[in-house]
Amino acid sequence: MTRWIACIPLLLSASQAVAHPHVFVDSALRIETDAARNVTGVELSWAYDEFFTLLIFEDMGLDPDGDGQLTEDELAQLQGFETDNWPSDFEGDLYLSSEGEAVTLGAPEPRETRVEDGRIISAHFRPVNGVAADGLEVRQYDPTFYVAYEITRGVEIAAPCRAEIEKPDRDAADAYVQKELERVPEDQFEVLEVGEQYADRISLTCDPSS
Domain definitions of the chain by residue range: 4-206
Distance CA 173, CA 38 (A): 32
Residue 188 neighbours by CB under 8 Å, 6+ apart: none
| pLDDT, tens only, 168-208 | 998 998 888 888 878 876 655 566 788 899 999 999 999 88
Residue 32, φ and ψ in degrees, nearest 5: -90, 135
pTM: 0.85
Amino acid code (one letter) for 149: Y
Alpha-helical segments (H) within the chain: 14-18, 50-60, 72-78, 170-183
| pLDDT, tens only, 124-151 | 999 999 899 999 999 999 998 889 999 9
Amino acid code (one letter) for 120: I
Q: What percent of the chain has pLDDT over 90?
A: 64
